[in-house]
C-alpha cells in the first residue's frame, strides 16, 4: 500500500537504466529480509513500532483496465527510533483485451522518530520523518509500473487517544523521479484514522489526496480496512477501495491480507 500515492504521469525521453533498476530492487529486498526487529504494535498504522510481514492482494478496476497487485509488505525496528519498511510488488493487468503479468517494484521506507510523548492526560503523539526509495523492474512497456525510480521524503505525526485507542495520523509526502523515462512530481496529503473495537478487531480509514505537478491535477483514493487479530502472532483483514476525482487511477477495488507478527 502500497506507499503508494502514484498516478499515471506523462512521459518524456530520459536515459533508460533497467539493469540498474533491477539490481537495486534485488539489493533492497535482500537487505530488508535479512533484518530483525521488535515486537509489533498495530502495523496498519505506518508510524507504529514493531515487526511484521503481511501477504497482501489488492484488485482495482477502472477506465484504464483491471489490476491485481500481489505484494509482501513488512517492517522491523532497526533501532529504537528507526523503522525500516519494505515491499515487493507483482502485478497482473488486463486492458483492451490484453493481459500481462510481471514484477512491478521494490520499496524501502526509512522512518525516523525524533520525538514522542504526551500532549495531555488523554492524547499522546509520535513524530516521524522519512524517505521512500522505490525501484522499478523496468516493465512499463507492459503497462506495469510508472517507468521511473523514485524518492519520496515525508513528515507525519501519530496522535493516540489513551482512553479509546483511536489513532489519527496525518502525513505529507513528495515523490520525484531520479532515474527512468517518466517525469514524476507529486505531493500527497494523507490522513489515517485507526480504531480498535470488540477486543480483537480494528477499523481503519485511509484517505490519500495527491497533487500531480506534471499534469496539474488533483486525484485521490479512500480505503476502509477491517481486521481481526486471530492471536498474538496472526491477523487477517479485508479492504474496500474507492478512487476519487477525475484524474483517479482506478474506480473501485478490494483487498485481503494475512499478517504475521513476530
- The string of pLDDT tens digits covering residues 127-136 is 999 999 999 9
Report pLDDT for 32: 46
SS3 at position 25 = helix
Burial class (CB in 10 A: 0-12, 13-18, 19+), 195: middle
Q: Which residue has the higher pLDDT, 61 or 22?
A: 61
Where exactly are the structural domains of the chain? 18-261
Instruction: Residue 3: name the closest of 166, 210, 258 by CA.
Output: 210
The helix or strand, by DSSP H or E, that contains position 30, with its residue range, turns out to be: helix 18-33
Q: What is the mean pLDDT of the chain?
A: 88
pTM of the model: 0.85
Residue 9's pLDDT band (cuts 50, 70, 90): very low
> How far, in Å, CA of 65 to CA of 104, rounded?
16
Question: Would you say 93 and 143 are in contact if contact means Cβ atoms under 8 Å apart?
Answer: yes
3-state secondary structure (DSSP) of residue 70: strand
Mean of the pLDDT values across residues 241-250?
Answer: 90
**Cell representation of residue 182:** 517518466
Beta partners for 157?
A: 127
Q: For residues 127 and 110, what is the distance between their CA atoms, to the nearest angstrom?
A: 14
Class of domain 18-261: mainly beta
Element (H, E) at 79: strand 65-79
Among 125, 138, 150, 126, which residue's Cα sits nearest to residue 7? 150
User: Given this model, what pLDDT does residue 17 score?
Assistant: 54
**Cα separations (Å) of 71 from 3, 86, 231, 247?**
12, 10, 23, 25
8 A C-beta contact, residue 71 and residue 256: no
Average pLDDT score over residue span 193-217? 96
| Range with lowest mean pLDDT among 33-47, 112-126, 224-238 | 33-47
Q: Is 135 in contact with 105 (CB distance < 8 Å)? A: yes
Amino acid at each position: 500500500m502500497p506507499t503508494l500515492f502514484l498516478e499515471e504521469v506523462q512521459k518524456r525521453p530520459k536515459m533508460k537504466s533497467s539493469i540498474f533498476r533491477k539490481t537495486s530492487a534485488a539489493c533492497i529486498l535482500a537487505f530488508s529480509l535479512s533484518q530483525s526487529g521488535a515486537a509489533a504494535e498495530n502495523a496498519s498504522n505506518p508510524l507504529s513500532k514493531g515487526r511484521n510481514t503481511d501477504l497482501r492482494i489488492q484488485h482495482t478496476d477502472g477506465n484504464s483496465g483491471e489490476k491485481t497487485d500481489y505484494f509482501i509488505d513488512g517492517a522491523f525496528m532497526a533501532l529504537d527510533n528507526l523503522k525500516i519498511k519494505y515491499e515487493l510488488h507483482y502485478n497482473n493487468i488486463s486492458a483492451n483485451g490484453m493481459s500481462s503479468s510481471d514484477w512491478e517494484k521494490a520499496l524501502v521506507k526509512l522512518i525516523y522518530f525524533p520525538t514522542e510523548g504526551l500532549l495531555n492526560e488523554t492524547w499522546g503523539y509520535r513524530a516521524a520523518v522519512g524517505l521512500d526509495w522505490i525501484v522499478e523492474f523496468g516493465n512499463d512497456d507492459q503497462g506495469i509500473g510508472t517507468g521511473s525510480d523514485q524518492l519520496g521524503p515525508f513528515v507525519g505525526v501519530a496522535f493516540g487517544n489513551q482512553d479509546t485507542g483511536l489513532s489519527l495520523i496525518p502525513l505529507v509526502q513528495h515523490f520525484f523521479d531520479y532515474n527512468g523515462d517518466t517525469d514524476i512530481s507529486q505531493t500527497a496529503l494523507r490522513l489515517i484514522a485507526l480504531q480498535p473495537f470488540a477486543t480483537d478487531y480494528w477499523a481503519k480509514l485511509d484517505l490519500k489526496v495527491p497533487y500531480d505537478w506534471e499534469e496539474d491535477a488533483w486525484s485521490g483514493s479512500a480505503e476502509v480496512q477491517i481486521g481481526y487479530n486471530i492471536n498474538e502472532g496472526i491477523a487477517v483483514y479485508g479492504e474496500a477501495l474507492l478512487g476519487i476525482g477525475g484524474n483517479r487511477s482506478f474506480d473501485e477495488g478490494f483487498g485481503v491480507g494475512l499478517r504475521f507478527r513476530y
